[in-house]
Amino acid sequence: MPPNLGPALIHNLEIYLYLGGELMVTMLLWVFFTGRGYCYYCPLGTLLALLGKVAGQKIITDRAECIECERCDHTCPMSIDIKSGAAKKKPVSSMRCTGCGHCVDTCPTQTLAYSTGFLEKRRTGDGS
């Protein structure tokens, strides 16, 4: 390697490593402070949202009486307002929902249930 390319190469590597490190730290802080905030912009999150919309993904909120404890809202990694739908006994359908089921698992009265169009057809027997 010629002597004049060594410092330039090292300088460029330092810049790329510095910028890459800054980006990684920024992304980690973003995840730490906003939960799953990156899902709003990630192409995979967008694809999951579209698939959920096509599949008729929703959270059923009328299986029991909602006591408005807000556990569902606090455990939702996507910060979806589930409690207000449950209080009105209206299904919650959001493009941000990833179908993780944390809200369903944490509900003390078992008011919530996860459903899709396929599951609804299967329950009613129309899917045969």
CA distances from 81 to 12, 18, 22, 62, 74 (A): 47, 39, 33, 15, 9
Per-residue pLDDT tens over the stretch 26-77: 877 776 676 566 666 677 777 777 888 888 889 999 999 999 999 999 998 8
Residues 6+ apart with CB under 8 A from 118: 55, 56, 127
Query: Quick one: pLDDT at residue 36?
Result: 62
Whole-number average pLDDT of the chain: 83
Dihedral of alpha carbons 57, 61, 63, 67, sign = positive
Q: CA torsion sign, 126 to 48 to 103 to 81?
A: negative
Report the pLDDT value the prediction gives residue 113, as an integer from 0 to 100: 93
pLDDT at 12: 86
